[in-house]
Amino acid sequence: MDAKLNTPDPGHAVAPGDDAVADAAVEALEQQLSMLWRRARSNSYKVARRVHPDMEPAAYGLLVILQREGSMRLTDIAASVGVGKPSVSRQIAMLEQLGLVQKEADPLDGRAQSISLTDAGNRQLTAAQTARRQAFHELMEDWDVQDLTCLGTLIAQLNETYIQDSW
């Protein structure tokens, strides 16, 4: 058993009739993920405040999507985050008021609007990402690169599992 998590050794495969061991492993995972999500939520507030003091943490993800995609319609943004259009619309309106995003007529459909980062939004987002990345490097500086890579792979696998089998 791993003393830190009170779970089976990492290489231990759970036998079909070994429900107690599997239950303990799932319970430990659930506790650790819950703690991680609480800490991540707290850090999201800090990162959002670095972009703009009045920005809500949920809006940070929208800025990152626009940074990656360049310009998108509201319906496409909502679909990419899996949230309803009204929620995204409120967030985008707030980001527009803060001067972080701008709306323009969509060149392919004059009735629709295309949303993109403003220059100020891009600068502020990049600065916040740089600070976040530096803080993460400092936090993880004692970790072995192989462990970081393994953790990233396992989290990606967990995320893929959520996509395939959402409750």
**pLDDT, position 31:** 94
Averaged over 40-54, what is the pLDDT? 87
**pLDDT, position 163:** 75
Nearest to 52 by CA among 63, 42, 41: 63
**pLDDT, position 16:** 57
Asked if pLDDT for residue 7 goes beyond 80, the answer is no
Averaged over 19-29, what is the pLDDT? 90
Count the Cβ atoms, other than its own, within 10 Å of residue 90: 13
- With vertex at residue 33, the alpha carbon angle to CA 167 and CA 138, rounded to the nearest 5 degrees, is 140
Domains of the chain with bracketed CATH: 23-133 (1.10.10.10)
**What single letter denotes the amino acid at residue 165?**
D
Q: What average pLDDT does the structure give for the chain?
A: 86
Asked if pLDDT for residue 81 goes beyond 70, the answer is yes
Q: How confident is the model at residue 5 (pLDDT cuts 50, 70, 90)?
A: very low
**pLDDT, position 57:** 87
User: What gap in Å lies between CA 130 and CA 16, rounded to an integer?
Assistant: 46
3-state secondary structure the chain: CECCCCECCCCCCCCCCCHHHHHHHHHHHHHHHHHHHHHHHHHHHHHHHHHCCCCCHHHHHHHHHHHHHCEEEHHHHHHHHCCCHHHHHHHHHHHHHCCCEEEEEECCEEEEEEEEECHHHHHHHHHHHHHHHHHHHHHCCCCCHHHHHHHHHHHHHHHHHHHHCCC
**pLDDT, position 3:** 42
Asked if pLDDT for residue 102 goes beyond 70, the answer is yes
Q: Does residue 12 or residue 90 have the better pLDDT?
A: 90
Averaged over 8-30, what is the pLDDT? 74
**pLDDT, position 83:** 87
